[in-house]
Amino acid sequence: MIYILVLGIPFIRPIGIPLQISEGTRDMYNALEALKPGDVVLYAWTIDLSAWSELGPGMVAIAAHILSKPDVKLIMVGELATPLCYERIIDTIRNTISKDLFGKEYGKDYCILMTAGGESGMKAFMTDIRGAISYDFYLNSLDDLPVMEGVRDGKDFTIAFTAITSAYQPHIRQIVDLCNVPLGALMMGAVAFGAMPYYKAGVLFSVMAGLGSCAEYELLTYKGPAITRMDSLSLSAVMVVILMIAANIKFYSTKVSVKVESDKDG
């Protein structure tokens, strides 16, 4: 009950704690801001809607940032239910950021593709796109899509972005290692810690961790729901810290009282 109140009160009465932009978010922003006309961005094999509440705002903000760049192509590829997630991202951008999607059109400036087979499907796509798939998500032939003109394999992509909840190694193997395409990733907070060696080594040009990074990116680009959720996140973290301290105080006070009693008996 206390936890629900702690999470809920900031939505009714926002506190407005200032956000600091982290290094990973800044790197992602700079890389996408530097996109030039003619560049092709791969929005690669992200989550479906399972972690939308944590990563969704960041995915929307990043997709909007890419689409706002003039003459930059966006190729969104996914498996299973991920293309439906991409549809939701596009609808969210239309409803909240830009009604005409920054003047971009499906098929001309962006498209949604679907693969199968997990990492094997990724490899097949990055090696030879038309060998792996012939149609987009809406069963249009790839050759009929102006956005796919000149995009034959993974090496034709300028930059890649992904948002994942667990395994990021297949993306590193098939995008960075195989085709040398710079890859930035938005991850769940717990997973991002494990990806730090790749970020420090330069294999990933950016690692954004969880809802906090999404809020930071919204602050840099287009305001969205993640910023409003940060007060709630802050208070819940403070509550967990208080509980941790309380648990330790309880443990040690119990230990001391048991020792005192045993000394008395002894």
Partner 1 sequence: MSSLIRRQIPIAIVAMLSTILILEYFTTIESIDSMGKLSAEWAVVIGSFVMGLGSVGLVRRHGKIVMSMNKTDSPYSLLLLVFFFATTIMGFSLFGIGGPVLNNAYKSMYNDIFMVMSTVTWGLAGFFMVSGAYRAFVARNKQGLVLVVAGLFTLIGLVPIGAAIWPPFVAIQEWIKNVPGSAASAGISLGAALGGLSFALRLILGIERTWLRGSE
Closest CA to 44 of 140, 184, 151, 179: 184
Phi-psi region of 118 (alpha: psi -120 to 50; beta: other; left: phi over 0): left
> Could you give the CA distance from residue 160 to residue 167 in angstroms, rounded to a whole number?
16
Residue labelled with tokens 């479906």? 48
Q: Which of 248, 256, 258, 259 binds partner 1 (CB under 8 A)?
A: 248
CB 55 to partner 1: min, Å: 10
Tell me the one-letter amino acid at 34.
Answer: A
54 binds partner 1, rule: CB under 8 A: yes
> Could you give the CA distance from residue 102 to residue 70 in angstroms, rounded to a whole number?
9
5 binds partner 1, rule: CB under 8 A: no
Residue (158 or 234) nearer to partner 1, CB: 234
Strand order in the sheet with 159-164: 110-115, 73-79, 40-44, 159-164, 183-187, 204-209
Q: Which of 105, 108, 166, 251 binds partner 1 (CB under 8 A)?
A: 251
> Could you give the CA distance from residue 42 to residue 220 in angstroms, rounded to a whole number?
21
197 binds partner 1, rule: CB under 8 A: yes
185 binds partner 1, rule: CB under 8 A: no
Residue (72 or 168) nearer to partner 1, CB: 168
CB 29 to partner 1: min, Å: 18
Residue labelled with tokens 């012939």? 134
Q: What angle do CA 78, 81, 121 make, to 5 degrees?
A: 35
CB 69 to partner 1: min, Å: 27
Q: Which of 5, 34, 238, 260 binds partner 1 (CB under 8 A)?
A: 238
Residue (80 or 260) nearer to partner 1, CB: 80
180 binds partner 1, rule: CB under 8 A: no
Residue labelled with tokens 């990563």? 55
- The footprint of partner 1 (CB under 8 A) covers 3, 17-20, 23, 49-54, 80-81, 84, 87-88, 115-118, 120-121, 123-124, 127-128, 131-133, 137-139, 189, 193-197, 200, 209-210, 212, 230-231, 233-241, 243-248, 251
